[in-house]
Amino acid sequence: MKKIFLFFLAIFLAAGNSFPYYDEVKAADQKKDQIIIHVKCKGDNSVPAKVSVILDFESEKETEPLKGMSDENGIFKAEIPEETYCIMVKVSKESFIPKKIILSRKDKGAITGAEISVELDHGETIGGFLSTEGGQPISKAKIILLAEIWNGRNYDVGNITVADRSSEKYELISDEKGSWNCTIPSGNDDLSFLFEHPDIGMGVQRSISTDEDKDAAKALKDRNFKFVFSKPVQIKLKVLDETGNPVENSDVFISLNGQVDDLRLSTDKKGESCFSYQSSDCKDLPKIVVLKEGFVPYDNEVPISKTDEIKNIQLKKAVPVGGKVVDIEGNPIKGVRFARSFNFLLSDFVKHMTLSDQDGNFILSGVLPSFSAKYRVCSPEGYMDKYILSSDLASNPVVVLVPKIHIKAIIKDKAGNSLKNIRCFEYIDDDFNMRYEEIKDGIYERYIDEIKDGTGGQINFGLEVICRPYRKQMQKKIIKSGDKEVNFNFAMDDEGVKKGTILGTDGKPVGNIMIFFTGEKRTCLFDEQLNYKVDETVAFSSEDLRHIVSDASGNYEFYPSTPKAKQKQLENNFDNGIYEFYPYEYNNGRTILVTAFTNDGCLCIPIDEFDKTEKVQLQKYSKVEGDIFKGDKTIPKQSICLERIFIIGGEYHSVDLFTESDENGHFVFEKVPPGYFGISCHDEKLSIYGEAVPGVSHKVKLGGYGVRITGKLVPPPEIKVDFKDKESSCLNMFLQNDDEFSIDSEEKIKEMIIMNVRTEIKTELLPDGTFNAVDVPPGKYKIMFNAQDDGEIYAWTDQEFTITEDTLKKGEINLGLFQLK
């Protein structure tokens, strides 16, 4: 969870910093319907003249791409066609890496003006080496490199979103030493490779991403990549008909993991097709699908070996079956697509699809009467998709398509006025459909294009509407196949709306304060200036609809949503205890943290407390500073995390802040929400907790507060354990807290904090089985060790020990011998 949090924090911090390729993006105070592009060189900001610029407009009317050159000042101007919703900008010049930028509006509206600054750079050179497991270089290997600039390369300014999509494809050949090099755009954090060579295999894929692998991150930094390949597995396929004759020009699809087709081949005149692959790329045995017009597809998940072999595949002659597709009035429908599903092959493989003609007639060629093949009937616009079985066409050759069902909801207040900023959630057969729409004009519309089998041709459709500050509503209707339009009308009720006032640290009302509501154990995210960032990682976490804003006088409105006392699970009780910003299926028994942050103070209280209070007041921040130690020495340049911790209803919420220790190991958190907090250094596995008081500075000491412990793991005489092998030997020591948590005791809250911020102790394991750790605080510990061979544990221990307060006075303790089992 911590790793995921750090990942998203990094994205938010990157978005807050200056963007490497663009100085600014403007959407106002410009000449109407004009885009202005400033081109300059990265690094020295010099202006290159006569740069090629191509603009591709996505608008209501089809337009040709606009091509031109920048002037001597590096400026290019162009008019924007009416109703343009997206602009792709391509900028290129010889000796520079081309740039591709996409502009769009956040609200999906038309772009009426934009001004951007684009920096061209000469790129960077990367290289690598290909070899066999024996160390022999692999020369003349075909390499396809896809360099993507993606993560952290998009941001919003005003209502314009800017995205860098400067992905480039490079075709390379390794030299006689197995080496290769290539110049790519600077700042790549994702690289994809495709290799082909007799000593490697066909279509062998490798990818490198800094987000997933520390070694990959280092390689990306060094720009030197070494790929080692084992001897590939060679497979020859022979496709024969029922009489043993070869089947020429069959389409052969190979899957190395049973999910997607990695290779697409065809058979020669002998009915043969050869392929090779790296056995390590197979999660399971590779599988194949063979398709040939007039034959039944070979699609029975028969695996082939991971060793070299010749595989015979026999195709059966098909017995085609036909039919006719019509609408509910009996009119033929042209262009209906019949797509057959295979084990791993994408069903939209065009060559083997069937389309109905102008009279609605169609023929399914790859079938037999003895078994049923399932087809998805993909309908033209206005009709529902459906599934059919080929065996059913013998008795009923007519396929009837019903129209899509138009869902329309009109949302108004009691006076009949249309409402804005509305959230609509769908439920189908009482299950949350994970679909929501945000609308601003009071009308919600969509089409239902499928009713699943086994439902009797109908669905129980529910629509839930959330519009602050009104009470949320839900309506349900039975929708049947053949219905053309289903209408909903909502009159939102403001009865019970709560009014409140937010006060500053001086007790006076403060206006234009955003009050956020975070639930589902979410973590509040900040940038370095303590600007609050909303977590946008789930389907229904809209920034606009997860907070309320006080007016100029500090007043606010919202519909309260406190659960009944002692009732944690509400079991789908829609009217009671439902947090207004989320669909009710996701809020039964949830706890909500209400937060607001300004330069002077903050608000951090549970939702039930916020509900009951007509006036809420911001508290002054605390200042927390300290030093980080390892033994008796300070540790410089360490990442430090402070978690302001809230235990609400037994659930753990936190507001997380980050900083780094200086050269002397000193760290400072200038603005800390008052209350319980935990400070930790993940790399050193050091942590401490405390309590901050509003407006008061606190000094802490991280590390250097515990004892040094030593011990030794002793294996049985008949077993030899390689303690040096970190891959197969694993030692963990962590603090235990098995007591049940109760919110009635503040002491238990402290224990809960300790359990969360003090988890694992950094331990050093030596080759002879001796282990030691420093700065171990008092507490009850469990030490766990296991040694594995091919996934099987052959030596282990699971023991407990306690370090008391008295031990601190000694400064060191020897735990003795731990006998392995």
Domain boundaries, the chain: 2-120, 125-152+166-229, 233-314, 321-401, 405-492, 498-520+543-616, 621-702, 707-819
Q: Of 194, 193, 228, 185, which is closest to residue 209 (Cα–Cα)?
A: 193
Three-state DSSP class for residue 584: helix
3-state helix vs strand vs coil in the chain, percent to 5: 10, 50, 45
Q: Which of 369-378, 652-661, 704-713 is the most confident on average?
A: 369-378
Tracing tokens 């900008």 back to the chain, one arrives at 89
Low-confidence winner among 28-32, 90-94, 551-555, 565-569 (lowest mean pLDDT):
565-569
Residue 332 has pLDDT above 80, yes or no: yes
CA–CA gap between residue 685 and residue 375 (Å, rounded): 56
**Burial of 531 (C-beta count, 10 Å sphere; 0-12/13-18/19+):** exposed
* Dihedral angle over CA of 419, 422, 426, 432, nearest 10: -140
Has domain 405-492 been given CATH number 3.30.2290.10? no
Do 498-520+543-616 and 621-702 come out as alike in CATH topology? yes
Q: How far apart are CA 503 and CA 490, in angstroms?
A: 35
CATH number of 233-314: 2.60.40.10
Instruction: State residue 732's pLDDT score.
Output: 67
Thinking of the domain 621-702, which architecture would CATH place it in?
Sandwich (2.60)
The upper half-sphere exposure of residue 4, i.e. CA atoms within 13 Å in the direction of its Cβ, equals 5
pLDDT-based confidence at 769, cuts 50/70/90? confident
Which letter does DSSP use for residue 610 in this model?
Answer: H
Architecture of domain 321-401: Sandwich (2.60)
| pLDDT value for 490 | 92
What is the per-residue pLDDT across 130-169, written as a single tens digit (0 to 9) for each? 999 999 999 999 999 887 654 445 666 556 777 777 767 8
Q: For residue 707, what are its two tokens?
A: 């004892």
Which of 468-482, 737-751, 800-814 shows the highest mean pLDDT? 468-482
Instruction: Say which CATH architecture domain 707-819 belongs to.
Output: Sandwich (2.60)
Across 324-333, 376-385, 415-424, 570-579, the highest mean pLDDT is recorded for 324-333
pTM (two decimals)? 0.51
Contact 570, 576 (CB under 8 A): yes
* Residue 85, pLDDT above cutoff 90: no
Which one is predicted more confidently, 471 or 246? 246
The residue among 560 and 268 whose pLDDT is bigger is 268
Place of tokens 């300059």: 40
In the prediction, which pLDDT does 527 show?
Answer: 39
List the structure tokens of 68: 């031109």
Query: What backbone phi and psi angles, to 5 degrees, belong to 209?
Result: -140, 135
CATH for 498-520+543-616 (2.60.40, 3.40.50, 2.20.25, 3.30.1380): 2.60.40
Q: Is the pLDDT of residue 531 over 50?
A: no
Q: How far apart are CA 403 and CA 449, in angstroms?
A: 8
Supply the Cα-derived Rg of the chain in whole angstroms: 33
Query: Does residue 777 contact residue 708 with C-beta atoms inside 8 Å?
Result: no
Q: How confident is the model at residue 324 (pLDDT cuts 50, 70, 90)?
A: very high
CATH number of 125-152+166-229: 2.60.40.1120
Which range among 237-251, 257-271, 490-504, 720-734 shows the weakest confidence by mean pLDDT?
720-734
Contacts of 45 (CB under 8 A, 6+ apart): none
State residue 611's pLDDT score.
76
Prior bond of 65 cis (ω within 30°): no
Q: Considering the domain delimited by 2-120, tell me its CATH architecture.
A: Sandwich (2.60)
Give DSSP secondary structure letters for 481-529. Answer: TT--EEEEEEEE--TT-EEEEEE-TTSSB--S-EEEEE-TT-EEEE-TT
